[in-house]
Amino acid sequence: MSLRTELGATDKVADQHEIPTGTTVVRDLPPDTHNTWEQRVEAVVAVAREHADDVDRQGRFPHEAIGECRRQRIFGAVVPQARGGRAVSIVELCALIEELGRVCGSTAAIVAMHFSQELCLTRHVDLEQESALTAVTERVAAEQWLLASSTTEKNIGGDTRTSSCAVVENGDGTVTVCKSAPVISYARYADAILVTARRHPEAPSSEQVLVVAPKSALKLDRTTPWDALGLRGTMSEGFELEATVSADHVLPVDFATISSHTMLPASHTLWASSWLGLASAAGDLARKFVQKKARATPGELPPGALRLAELEIELQRMTDVVRVNVRRFADQADDVSVLGSMPFAIAMNTLKVSTSELVRQIVGDAMVIVGIASYSNTGPWSLARPLRDAMGPSLQVNNDRILKNTATLQMVSRGRR
Amino acid sequence: MSQDRSQLVETIRDVVAQHAHLSSDAASLSASESLYTAGMTSHASVNVMLGVEDAFDIEFPEEMLTKETFESLDSIAQAVATLQDEQ
């Protein structure tokens, strides 16, 4: 039996929340509430918190929290109001991801990845004009489409700026992209996938475009399962992907620009926000633990107090680096001379490396403070899930790859920050 | 194009041939053709920068270290000429 047949036979494939390839789900959404953005965020966080442990234990898609995102009309939040969205700012978006990161790393990761793709549409499609991509962007808001991303490719790995697969013209106004993707997070549950590919079969590996493939235009053949240490709900399985879309589903801007102006800074600021949530929640637990001890012995600092003070240094450092860089991207988001500059690229690189290492360190240190109760897989003091989730960030796009890129830039940098 | 300028472009062409790892032959590039479209990655563009700095004994200031500066043989030549004029 081939691996693929074997995978196809597991009941995980037959998931009632999966969106079957080649179809479009007509989603029956309840009427929108008049909730404020804050109330919407609160509702989603509450649902994510309730199901986080089960999502982790079963290694399943967090359909309750994503369903609540749809009920609260979270998707489409950065789409302009004229196209049915709510024009939420990058700062507000990162705050949402941070709150989700406090309660469920997987949900935070999925919503973060969705918005890194949604921003590619809202920032690189001319939404003043009617077009196929404008229509897709409107559907993200109106039908609460969840967007996934396929950049990683077999034999190329996490280097998003290189593709082997290419956009092939079929001669009838449609184009096809076939990609061997070792990982596409939540691909089976997404309404559309944004796929990088070379512009045409003769183009060099760096001349890439971004193709929007709605589920109705996709074939996904699962090649590898997702049974990972942490972030288990992201369902980051491997696929053979085939998409045939009309040629107007290719974004008009080259991917090099989309990547440096939007996808990289959006991904790094959104991801870092989710890790900050993860680290902050672990820090809160450690603080609560030491405070509980302190109440039993007033006048005498409990054993973990100095460690807690040390942890605060790391938490403050992480909070500052995330806040400053979220603000940096938000403030400069429309200034292409900044977005394309070397200091900006270096800042986003260092944001990723420093925060992914800090989250690992902070959650681990929080565990040392709380002690054996945090080592348990269950119970109010457990840090098991956050610890496992915190190991992923340094690996997903390996920090060494990002450091190597930064090192190259350092060879010509003049040190401006 | 002046004699100086075409000499400049040819020196830059040599650097590009050595460091840009283009998918086409650097000798056949027109001066205004996009090096990125010809396959120069951002990683390779850093090596082109270093090579040009070495060839002309110059140092690009921060504001010139942009994608636009290294877009074509012409745009690089323009930047080098500007720096040489300042010296």
Class of domain A37-145: mainly alpha
- The overall average pLDDT reported for chain B is 91
Residue A24 binned pLDDT confidence (cut-offs 50, 70, 90): confident
If you count them, how many residues does chain B have?
87
With tokens 């060099």, the residue in question is A204
**Structure ipTM:** 0.79
Out of A7-21, A95-109, A344-358, least confident range: A7-21
* pLDDT at A10 (0 to 100): 44
Q: Which of A179, A174, A169, A87 is nearest to A127 (CA)?
A: A87
CATH superfamily ID and name for B2-86: ACP-like (1.10.1200.10)
Interchain CB distance below 8 Å, B36 and A411: no
Closest B-chain CA to A414: B62
User: Domain extents for chain A?
Assistant: 37-145, 149-254, 262-412
Read off the DSSP letter of residue A61: -
Q: Which of the four pLDDT bands, split at 50, 70 and 90, describes residue A14?
A: low
Contact A416 B62 (CB under 8 A): yes
Strands A208-214 and A147-150: unpaired
* Residue A2 pLDDT level (bands cut at 50, 70, 90): very low
Determine the distance in angstroms separating the CA of B7 from the nearest CA of chain A, rounded to an integer: 25
- B-chain residue closest to A343, CA distance: B62
pLDDT in tens, A355-369: 999 999 999 999 999
In degrees and rounded to multiples of 5, residue B61 shows phi and psi of -75, 160
> How many angstroms separate the CA atoms of A74 and A101, rounded?
16
Give the C-alpha separation, B15 to A85, whole Å. 49
pLDDT above 60: residue A13:
no
Q: In DSSP terms, which residues pair with A243 in a beta bridge? A: A177, A218
- Of A162, A256, A413, Cβ closest to residue B36: A256
Q: Nearest CA to A397 among A158, A138, A68, A106? A: A158
Nearest CA in chain A to B66: A341
Question: What is the DSSP track for A259-292?
Answer: IIIIIHHHHHHHHHHHHHHHHHHHHHHHHHHHHH
With a cut of 70, say whether residue A5 has pLDDT above it.
no
**A224-247 pLDDT per residue, tens:** 999 999 999 999 999 999 999 999
- Residue A401 parent element (H or E): helix A399-410
Superfamily of domain A149-254: Butyryl-CoA Dehydrogenase, subunit A, domain 2 (2.40.110.10)
DSSP string, A295-314: HHSTTS--TTHHHHHHHHHH
CATH 1.10.1740.10 matches A262-412: no
Report the residue of B24, B36, B41, B48 to disrupt the A interface, i.e. the one with the largest count of A CBs within 10 Å.
Answer: B41
H-state helical runs in A72-156: 90-103, 105-124, 132-142
Query: What distance in Å separates the CA atoms of residue A377 and residue B79, rounded to the nearest whole number?
Result: 60
Inter-chain contacts counted by CB atoms under 8 A, chains A and B = 48
Q: Percentage of residues in chain B with pLDDT exceeding 70?
A: 97
Model confidence pLDDT, tens digit, residues A41-71: 999 999 999 999 999 999 999 999 999 999 9
Determine contact, residues A187/A179, Cβ cutoff 8 Å. Answer: no
Our CA-based measurement puts residue B78 at a distance from the nearest CA of chain A, in whole angstroms, of 19
